[in-house]
A and B are shown apart, each in its own frame.
Chain A
Amino acid sequence: MKKICRAGMIAFILGSSVPAMAQGPKPESSLNNPLALTLVVIITALALIIGLLAVVVYGAAEVELKKQQSQKSNTGAVLTILALLIATTAGAQGSAPATTAAVSDNVGGLSSSTYYILMVVLVVEIAAIFFLLFQLRFLLGAAKAKVTQADKTEEAAVEYKPAKPQLNWWDKFNKFRPVEKEADIDLGHNYDGIRELDNRLPPWWLYGFYFTIIFAAVYLYRAHVSHAAPSSAEEYKIAVASAEAQLAERLKDQKNRVDENTVVLVTDKTELDKGKTVFMSNCKVCHGALGQGIVGPNLTDDYWIHGGNIKDLFKTIKYGYPEKGMQSWKEQLSPVEIADVASYIKSLRGTNPPGAKEKQGELYVENGGSTPADSTGAAKADSTKAAK
């Protein structure tokens, strides 16, 4: 195996993991998407596994190489770092097109291009893991063969006996010095009986440290010099723009467009159930679970502060009367949801819940001209009539 090969391999591995990290500064709408999140988390985890495996393979390969070549590995290290640099910048650029990807087709709420990019990264990562595992097995197999061979000669047997063959890569991985040989690196310090060895820094630790420093430089460059990564405020704008585009798309459908002038009372069970869900989520805090009124007025009687017509209700919910404690819901609820909840509230008329609040506002009589009724059945019939 050639050094350049190894460096290239590591570059490739890192190249595949860096776009995954680049998902970070690019959350836009996908940030809110559980699927994207899960994928990114899996990708990151896999990238970590790959990184770890790569170092292990690298270490194992180095052991193997040392046996084959006597050349020093300095150039290798330099190449590795170079490759790392290239990989990071490549990753940084590579993520740019993803940001501008079209928002049209959806896969689980993700734009299809984002989805496929993530999936490709995943597949590549899994392939890389298999590739590395294969390499590792190969190298370990080679080491094992060497050990069994060495066992035959007597001196080698003495040298290898205490350490199990599997430990070999771990030892090399960390540049461990065999425990029996630690006297060579004993510094002769003695602090209350504590001695100190001078083991070399574990290479993977050191290169990991370098990597984080390079990551830091690239991160700061992208965030504050090239502005390739959006700021927090920009991320927000992107997310809102994409959500608004989706909503605009929805509103093209006539039935999603309803306002205080066009709203009509609905009695359809599914719509009323939707209205009930909205009510339970948002309204019951002030009006009570049964509409009996807590700090907000009773919604089951015939007395209304801001009008009892379905259009009045819609308007009250939509714009609110903030000075009187009723907030505006047009930011929280869609027009259809407001219409549903207004209809649901109308359906509560005459239910006489326990603990109902006393009447507030003015008596409202439905267009049909019926008088306030205590009978639920009658009230319902009236409202239906009023709905035209």
Chain B
Amino acid sequence: MQLEKFYYDNKIVRSFAYATVLWGVVGMLAGLWVAVEFYFPGATLNYPGTTFGRLRPIHTNAVIFAFVGNCIFTGVYYSLQRLCKARMFSDLLSKIHFWGWQTIIVLAAATLFFGITTGKEYAELEWPIDILITLIWVVFGINMFGTIIKRRESHIYVAIWFYIATWITVAMLHIVNSIEIPVNLFKSYSWYAGVQDALVQWWYGHNAVAFFLTTPILGLMYYFLPKAANRPVYSYRLSIIHFWALIFIYIWAGPHHLLYTALPDWAQSLGVVFSVMLIAPSWGGMLNGLFTLRGAWDKVREDPVLKFFVVAVTCYGMSTFEGPMLSLKNVNAIAHFTDWIIGHVHIGGLGWNGFMAFGMLYFLIPKLFNTPLYSKKLATNHFWLGTIGIVLYAIPMYWAGFTQSLMWKQFTEEGSLQYPFLETVTQIIPMYITRSIGGALYLVGVFFMVYNLYKTVKQGSFIGDEAAEAAPLEKAKSHAKEYWHRVIERRPMQMLVLSLIVVLIGGLIELIPTFLVKSNIPTIASVKPYTPLELQGRDIYIREGCYTCHSQMIRPFRDEVKRYGEYSKAGEFVYDHPFQWGSKRTGPDLAREGGKNPDSWHFLHMFDPRQTSDKSIMPRYPWLYQNDLDVSTTPGKIRAMQTLGVPYEKGYDQIANNDLATQAKTIADGLKTDSKVKQLMTIEGIGNPEKKEIVALIAYLQRIGKDIKAERKSTNVQASLK
């Protein structure tokens, strides 16, 4: 057989690698910034774009989709060509993919900075960007499958199975979760409401972890780890079993983010048991990675690349054991809404994703530039800084989470709560400080890497098109006696379809009943749609990212009911497009905020939280007192809501702004009767508060969770007093 000569495209790999480094630094800087805001509220600079609510989505999107995203593409474009013995299908598509993805990132950063967000965690980007993501993802898919199809290797290697599953599942998750109805170019409402929106969102959110942060990285591990160690993969049959089990089970586990919420119990239970069953498939990946190093452990002592991989895979094992434990309801009752979860995700993020990325870059850049790494010693120092950084990050977060949770739940002998919320926050400030030191160390390590890679690039000479040869693919002979899985490995399209079927099962079984079976969301007659002013206020709430610190979900625990009021019911959220249950309680829950504090309190509080609550770590929102509420969007918003089935009367969009003005006037008049508020208005020169955004926000806050109280009052006065 005549060998064919061809060239691997290294230029695209280099581009993605540079982007990985750049966005890694940006994303981690944003992370460090928000970490400092926890103990130094002034770090927001009183500027909207740098408050936690807006910077946190920038941080998460940057590290997940920009840093890890580019890292995945770097690894895929490098390994896929070599595993298929073929150049990428199309250089043009590669370029479109690269520039398209970077455009998405820049647009994402810019829109989030200006508060343009859907308010759904990890899916904050507005609809035009969602569409762009879909297009670029399709480009990536065509390019990938084109390459696989024109391969010169009869079977596809396990790394590529993971790439295929990643591609199809991410496509499915992104499209289903991003279905939204546009109001204008910068604003849309989620198609789903309340409980259903929550289920779809966490089905997406959990599997973003699964299929963006796990499966593609496992694919990279299966290529780069055996390459760097020069050892055979430990077990082919373990690869098969853990691959299929992983993608099948992962998709079911989303509801474990919603334990003890208003999500139906059966869905919560499915989330629990599938999370527990997920331990073994996850650990299968870890074992296959670590056992591949059998006989090469002496190299680990020498080679920084392997050092990074070993810690990465170990962190993967740790967080995939911890995850299922956190999914047990009794552990979740302690950990959820606390910093424990933040610690957990950063073991995965800093340890698994970060260290895999660094190991890969230290391996790749010298290869691309045909030179040894500039300094092994510097890389080893990076490794140790990073490891210490992770430890200093994680331990304080576990500590903080546990402490705060126990404080929340502590009752006095008299049967009242021992600690006011704020005290549970100030208690853990030292832990926040330590955490940011850990993060800073990790980032310093990254700067070491940037310098090291820069020097390596300088000393080497880039091979843009790397020559290779391989025999063309033979027509498949009859493989009657072949192992069944080997057959699939020759048919990438079948593998794609099979993966899709496997990931569809769990999703469909959980989603469809929640949407179709009425009893899952018992309706509450007194729950009414938001007034136009409240709706506008809700959009400000979403814009400012209040959900990143405040939950709106009271769980059926004695302490939460005592602290916040009656626990949340599924029927209360039927008009919430999108749901705003949140996932973290840096501030108190707001699910029953309505009527709890007077309007005047909110007015003073939002202007400077430390005026009303000494030691509060909430940022100031002075711009809400300057900005006029944009009422031109009201009719469009009402119409969009009507399309989604919210029962506003026909033609209400035309008169909605009248109601809005009336309600704003009432609130503003009430505010003016308070002397402290009047004093603030005079100092700040706020002449017409009824026009300002703050009034809309107050209207919304005073509405949250109130409807159900009205129902209680009408049915049973005694009960309402309880």
**Assembly CA distance A40 to B331 (angstroms):** 10
Q: A236-B557, A236-B558 are in contact. Are A199 and B235 (CB under 8 A)?
A: yes
A220's contact among B85, B155, B269, B611, by CB below 8 Å, is which?
Answer: B269
Distance in Å from the Cβ of B505 to the closest Cβ of chain A? 15
B89 at interface by CB-CB < 8 Å: no
Q: Is the CB of B676 within 8 A of A337?
A: no
Contact B277 A213 (CB under 8 A): yes
Report if A354 contacts B (CB, 8 A). Answer: no
B633 at the interface (CB under 8 A from A): no
Q: In this assembly, does A202 line the interface, its C-beta being within 8 Å of a C-beta of chain B? A: yes
Specify which of A195, A243, A337 is in contact with B411 (CB 8 Å cutoff).
A243
Does A116 count as interface, using CB distance less than 8 angstroms?
no
Which range holds the interface residue count of chain A?
Answer: 35 or more
B29-37, B60-68, B364-372, B597-605: which lies at the interface: B597-605
Q: For residue B260, which residues in chain A have a CB less than 8 angstroms away from its CB? A: 232
Say yes or no: is A336 at the interface (Cβ < 8 Å to chain B): yes
Interface-facing stretch out of B135-143, B283-291, B354-362, B624-632: B283-291
On whether the beta carbons of A23 and B409 are closer than 8 Å, the reply is no
* Given A199-B291, A205-B283: A37 and B416 interface contact (C-beta under 8 Å): no
How many B residues face the partner with a CB closer than 8 A?
86
Q: Do residues A201 and B237 form an inter-chain contact, with CB atoms below 8 A?
A: yes
Q: Does B451 contact A (CB under 8 A)?
A: no
**B residues within 8 A CB of A231?**
265
- Asked if B273 is an interface residue, CB under 8 A from chain A, the answer is yes
Which A residues lie within 8 Å of B555 (CB)? Answer: 232
Residue of A nearest to B674 (CB): A295
**Other-chain contact of B420, A198, A236, A281 (Cβ < 8 Å):** A281
Q: Is the CB of B277 within 8 A of A212?
A: yes
A34 at interface by CB-CB < 8 Å: yes
Chain B residues near A240 (CB, 8 Å)? 558, 561
Give CA–CA (A209, B248) in the complex, Å: 14
Residues of B near A156 (CB, < 8 A) are: none
Known interface pairs A24-B328, A215-B276, A337-B414. Does A322 touch B595 (Cβ–Cβ under 8 Å)? yes
- Distance from B315 Cβ to chain A, minimum over Cβ atoms (Å): 19
A199/B419 in contact, CB under 8 A: no
**Which residues of chain B from 600 to 616 have a CB within 8 Å of any chain A CB?**
600-601, 604, 611-614
Interface stretch of the complex, out of B225-233, B641-649, B656-664 = B225-233
Q: B602: nearest residue on chain A (CB-CB)?
A: A295
Contacts of A239 in B (CB 8 A): 557-558
A298 to B251, CA, bound (A): 57
Q: A236-B557, A357-B675 are in contact. Are A286 and B597 (CB under 8 A)?
A: yes
Interface residues of A in 318-359 (CB under 8 A from B): 322, 324-325, 327-328, 331-334, 336-337, 357-358
**B472 in the interface, Cβ–Cβ < 8 Å?**
no
CB distance from A65 to the nearest CB of B (A): 25
Q: Which residues of A contact B333 (CB under 8 A)?
A: 27, 31
Q: Is A99 an interface residue (CB 8 A)?
A: no
List residues of chain B with CB within 8 A of the CB of A209.
Answer: 245, 277, 279-281
Contact A325 B597 (CB under 8 A): yes
B556 CB to nearest A CB, Å: 4
In the complex, B458 has a CB within 8 A of chain A: no
Q: Could you jot down 11 A-B contacts, CB within 8 Å?
A: A194-B157, A208-B280, A209-B281, A219-B276, A232-B556, A243-B411, A285-B612, A325-B598, A328-B721, A334-B416, A358-B675
Pairs of residues from A and B, 4 with the lowest C-beta to C-beta distance, nearest first: A325-B598, A209-B280, A216-B273, A334-B414
